[in-house]
Amino acid sequence: GFKEYFAVKATPNPFILKIFKDFGFGCDCSSMAELKLASAAGFTGDEIMFSSNETPAEEYRYATELGAIINFDDITMIPYYLENVGELPETICCRYNPGGTFSISNHIMDNPGDSKYGMTREQMSEAFMMLKQHGVKHFGIHAFLASNTVTDDYYPMLAEQLFTLAAELKKECDVDIVFVNLSGGVGIPYTPDQEPNHIDRIGEGVKQAYERVMVPAGLGDAKVYTEMGRYMMGPFGALVTRAIHEKHIYKEYIGVDACAANLMRPAMYGSYHHITVLGKEDQPCDMKYDVVGSLCENNDKFAIDRMLPRIDKGDLIYIHDTGAHGSAMGYNYNGRLWCPEVLLHADGSFSLIRRGQELKDYFATLDCFSEFGMLFEDN
Q: What is the pLDDT of residues 166-208, one digit of tens each?
A: 999 999 999 999 999 999 999 999 999 999 999 999 999 999 9
**Domains contained in the chain, CATH given:** 2-234 (3.20.20.10), 237-339 (2.40.37.10)
* Continuous segment of H or E residues that includes residue 128: helix 121-133
306 vs 313: CA distance, rounded Å: 17
Instruction: Determine contact, residues 50/35, Cβ cutoff 8 Å.
Output: yes
Q: Do residues 266 and 303 lie in contact, with contact meaning Cβ atoms separated by under 8 Å? A: yes
- The sign of the CA dihedral 124, 27, 202, 104 is negative
Helices 199-209 and 154-173: crossing angle, nearest 10°? 20
Q: How far apart are CA 323 and CA 328, in angstroms?
A: 9
Q: Do 138 and 91 form a contact (C-beta atoms < 8 A)?
A: yes
Taking only the tens of pLDDT, the chain with its 379 residues reads 999 999 999 999 999 999 999 999 999 999 999 999 999 999 999 999 999 999 999 999 999 999 999 999 999 999 999 999 999 999 999 999 998 676 665 554 557 777 789 999 999 999 999 999 999 999 999 999 888 999 999 999 999 999 999 999 999 999 999 999 999 999 999 999 999 999 999 999 999 999 999 999 999 999 999 999 999 999 999 999 999 999 999 999 999 999 999 999 999 999 999 999 999 999 999 999 999 999 999 999 999 999 999 999 999 999 999 999 999 999 999 999 999 999 999 999 999 999 999 999 999 999 999 888 888 876 5
Say if residues 336 and 295 touch (Cβ distance below 8 Å): yes
Q: Whole-model pTM? A: 0.94
The CA distance from 360 to 371, in Å, is: 14
Q: Are strands 102-104 and 48-51 parallel, antiparallel or unpaired?
A: unpaired
Closest to 61 in 3D by CA, of 83, 46, 93 = 83
Rounded CA separation 162/181 (Å): 9
Q: What is the CA radius of gyration of the chain?
A: 23
